[in-house]
Amino acid sequence: MKDVDIFKAESGQEANLQFASGGIHAGFPSPAQDYIEDGIDLNKELIRHKASTFYGRVVGDSMTEAGIDEGDIIVIDKSLNAAEGDLVVCYIDGEFALKFLRVENGKLLLCAGNKSYAPIEVTNGDDFRVWGVVTYTIKKRNNRV
């Protein structure tokens, strides 16, 4: 069931990249916004709680219908309290799993983002804990990099 490989978030160095001011519009381009502004540090943008933030690389296809594919990187914050509906990294019976947290009829369910996978009901006999809440997903859009 392994859905995630986990890595510690290293934020010792700045990752200061150039930043397009005014945002990136998805409609018609505006020539007035063809200039670059201050940089953006992705570590500062993505990591709120340095000591409790980890990166994970998604393994498998259980979240494809949620727009999360194998190889995507997720940012996981262990300091956040999980709520119903959150995308979480769970530790269940010795393995990490990336699932949506659901409560139905008093039952705790771990739900995939792929209809091919049935929900996993968490029972008292399971070794289970929510390991962290996913705060960002980083997706590679082409194979040229």
Evaluate whether 97 touches 117 at the Cβ level (below 8 Å): no
The conformational region for residue 72 under phi > 0 = left, psi -120 to 50 = alpha, else beta, is: beta
Active site (catalytic) residues = 62, 99
Q: What angle do CA 123, 130, 100 make, to 5 degrees?
A: 85
**The pair of three-digit structure tokens given for residue 129, joined into one six-digit string:** 């804990």
Q: Residue 133: CB partners within 8 Å, gap ≥ 6? A: 76, 77, 78, 80, 81, 82, 86, 87, 88, 89
Selection from 135, 129, 137 nearest residue 53 by Cα: 135
